[in-house]
Amino acid sequence: MKPAGLLEVTAVRRVTPRVVRVTFTGDGLAELEPWPDQQLKLLFPPPGRPVRLPSDGDDVLRWYQAYLAIPAEERPVMRSYTVRARDGDTIDVDFVLHAGAAGPATAWAFRAAPGDVLGRYGPDPAYRRPLSTADALLCAGDETAIPAIASILSEVDDVVAFVEVADAAEEQPLPGVRWLHRDGAEHGSRLLEAVRATALPEAAWLAGEASTVRAVRRLLVGRGLAKSAIEFTGYWRRTLTQDDAPTPEDLADAAEKLEDSASWKGS
- Domains in the chain (CATH in brackets) are 4-123 (2.40.30.10), 137-266 (3.40.50.80)
pLDDT for 266 equals 41
Give the number of other Cβ atoms within 10 Å of residue 63's Cβ: 21
How far is residue 109's CA from residue 29's CA, in Å, rounded to a whole number? 21
pLDDT for 122 equals 87
Successive 10-residue mean pLDDT values, the chain, 267 residues: 86 97 92 86 92 78 89 93 92 88 86 96 82 89 96 90 98 95 96 97 95 96 95 81 56 53 40
pLDDT for 141 equals 97
How far is residue 160's CA from residue 206's CA, in Å, rounded to a whole number? 12
How far is residue 258's CA from residue 64's CA, in Å, rounded to a whole number? 19
pLDDT for 264 equals 37
pLDDT for 98 equals 77
pLDDT for 182 equals 97
Burial class (CB in 10 A: 0-12, 13-18, 19+), 12: middle
Q: Are the beta carbons of 161 and 40 closer than 8 angstroms?
A: no
pLDDT for 252 equals 57
pLDDT for 242 equals 56
Find, among 162, 16, 5, the residue nearest to 84 by Cα.
16
